[in-house]
């Protein structure tokens, strides 16, 4: 549990958004994730949770501060290195599943592996294995429109884990589901995380779900504090 996989150090991020003055979203946010732990990130809407996840996941760059992945400095790394890290070492899950509607569940999960150069047969085999582990072995050939909301989100989890990342970043992954479905989907997510031993940071409004994670962090006035 001492293997720090991802760390943010004094990260600052501001946006102009068409206003005459900058909006300071992150004001020196710091945190670290170790292998095998699940950490909740709790804050009101608009507090900057998504911004923090985007910076942590190398989708956005910080104005100041450091982002380290396995101890490697990534804040100012070249785009090609950041892109490779996003593809191979970081998995993302969002409130809305963002599955491609024209592809089956199996194909949606296989796509990240194919994009990373995996042979088609290997990608399809691993996709089928992941989907089977979350109870969707009989739904491989269904397109997203034929799946329930909970099933769609489970497919999204499998897609996020397809390339064997070391870090999972999830932004309100159960926020679009009813309470019973959300609880079930969260159980599936926790099981996947425990099985793979990755580090997970999960932004959520659901305090009941947050309490079931290993640690709770809060984002207050642009800084991260213990929950």
Closest listed residue to residue 173, CA positions, set 162, 158, 163: 158
Instruction: Encode pLDDT of 126-161 as tens digits.
Output: 999 999 988 899 999 999 999 998 899 899 999 999
- Structural domain contains residue 135: yes
pLDDT of residue 156: 92
- Structural domain contains residue 12: no
Q: Which H or E element spans position 102?
A: none
Domain containing residue 89: CATH number: 3.40.50.300
Number of domain units in the chain: 1
| pLDDT bracket for residue 173 (50, 70, 90) | confident
- Structural domain contains residue 51: yes
pLDDT of residue 27: 94
- Structural domain contains residue 66: no
Predicted TM-score (pTM) of this structure:
0.89
Q: Residue 147: which domain range?
A: 38-59+78-214
Instruction: Encode pLDDT of 178-204 as tens digits.
Output: 888 888 888 888 888 888 889 999 998
Using a pLDDT cut of 90, give the percent of the chain over it. Answer: 63
As given in the structure block, the two tokens for residue 38 are 């699940």
Within 8 A by CB and 6+ apart from 93, the residues are 153, 156, 157, 160, 168, 169, 170, 171, 173, 189
- Structural domain contains residue 31: no
pLDDT of residue 16: 75
Residue with tokens 């400095």: 73
| pLDDT bracket for residue 1 (50, 70, 90) | very low
């Amino acid at each position: 549990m001492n293997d720090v996989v991802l760390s943010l150090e004094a990260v600052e991020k501001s946006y102009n958004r068409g206003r005459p003055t900058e909006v300071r979203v992150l004001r020196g946010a710091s945190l670290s994730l170790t292998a095998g732990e699940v950490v909740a990130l709790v804050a009101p809407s608009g507090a900057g949770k998504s911004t923090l996840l985007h910076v942590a996941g190398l989708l956005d760059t910080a104005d100041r501060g450091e982002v380290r992945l396995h101890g490697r400095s990534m804040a100012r790394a070249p785009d090609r290195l950041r892109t490779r890290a996003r593809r191979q070492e970081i998995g993302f899950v969002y409130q809305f599943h963002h599955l491609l509607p024209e592809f089956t569940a199996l194909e949606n999960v296989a796509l990240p592996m194919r994009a990373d150069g995996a042979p088609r047969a290997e990608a399809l085999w691993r996709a089928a294995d992941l989907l089977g582990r979350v109870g969707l072995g009989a739904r491989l050939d269904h397109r997203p429109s034929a799946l329930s909301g909970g099933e769609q989100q489970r497919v999204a989890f499998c897609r996020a884990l397809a390339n064997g990342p070391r870090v999972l970043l999830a932004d309100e992954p159960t926020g679009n589901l009813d309470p019973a479905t959300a609880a079930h989907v969260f159980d599936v997510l926790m099981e996947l995380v425990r099985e793979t031993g990755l580090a997970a940071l999960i932004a959520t409004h659901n305090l009941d779900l947050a309490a079931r994670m290993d640690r709770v962090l809060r984002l207050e006035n642009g800084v991260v504090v213990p929950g």
